[in-house]
Amino acid sequence: MTLPTDTRKGQIQIAFLQILKENPDGVQAKDVIAAAASRLTLSDHEKGDYPNRPGVRRFDKILRFLTIAPVKAGWMTKEKGVWTINPVGLDALAEFQNPADLYAESSRLYRVWKKDQPDDSGDDEETKSDSTTLEEAQEVAWAEIRDFLANINPYDFQEIVAGLLRGMGYHIAWVSPPGPDKGIDILAHTDPLGVQGPRIKVQVKRTPQTKVSAETLRAFMSTLGENDVGLFVATGGFTRDAEKEAREQEKRRITLVDLQKLFDLWVEHYGSIPESERSLLPLQFVPYLAPDN
């Protein structure tokens, strides 16, 4: 894969790291790429199509390629298509303001990481290319799943949560029918009769564009009895204040589950989930040769 000069590589790295700095909660990969392209003046080479990939802009592949070293350096993280800058990435962005110096430092840290790998004898360029290809495939798959769950019937989504709990070994005592639920959507127990362990109260919110606030979380926690455990599932995630509120609870036991965590648990327990609920979110696992990094 042909890359531009070290200075240009550093300019691209600064662009996407700056975008992540401005969005500390993380940004979808495709949005980072689009924003970086709008901030930089692209050369004709960068505007052109990637070899053997008609319609895929070369700049997009170059940028993805240039994220690999910052990830291995610990400057940024990637999780299901969302890129987030880390504190050491902010430090690097502040320290290395010369583009070539920033690129040199990320490359140095990548080499340090590579040296510690069990087998570092492979073709580095080919390995990096394989890594970005796999990354794109994962992003596309996750985007489809996220969009599917964002548009699913709310009561089907509720049944998905109940099915997951069954797959994890919990016993569902009640699932809220359509209509007002007074903040409780599912009741579950750790044993079939509900005589052992705590009672689990679950609230489910399918609001992909809205994060649950601390105020909404407090309203749910007010329904928890002394021996209850609260589980709040929200596709839109939670505000930082809500997460802080949950962490600081000393008496109430509360667990927050966002869409990403829900899906990870769904994959982990997929084989144990009853077929009736599994059919609401069916998955097909496709073997893919994993790159070295």
pTM score, whole prediction: 0.75
Residue-wise pLDDT for 8-25, tens only, equals 999 999 999 999 999 999
- For residue 203, give the H/E element and its range: strand 199-205
Residue-wise pLDDT for 230-286, tens only, equals 999 999 999 999 999 999 998 889 999 999 999 999 999 999 999 999 999 999 887
Residue-wise pLDDT for 183-233, tens only, equals 899 999 999 999 888 999 999 999 888 999 999 999 999 999 988 999 999
Pick from 131, 96, 99: which is nearest to 113 by CA? Answer: 131
What is the dihedral angle through the alpha carbons of 292, 133, 39, 17, rounded to the nearest 10 degrees?
A: -30
C-beta of residue 31 within 8 angstroms of C-beta of residue 139: no
Q: How many CB atoms lie within 10 A of CB 59?
A: 21
- Predicted pLDDT at 134: 79
Phi, psi of 171 (to 5 degrees): -110, 120
250 class by beta-carbon count within 10 Å (0-12 exposed, 13-18 middle, 19+ buried)? exposed
CATH code that applies to domain 152-278 = 3.40.1350.10
Q: How many CB atoms lie within 10 A of CB 280?
A: 16
- What are the boundaries of each domain within the chain? 6-149, 152-278
C-beta of residue 220 within 8 angstroms of C-beta of residue 203: yes
Pick from 277, 232, 272: which is nearest to 255 by CA? Answer: 232
Q: How many CB atoms lie within 10 A of CB 293?
A: 17
Pick from 53, 213, 181: which is nearest to 129 by CA? Answer: 53
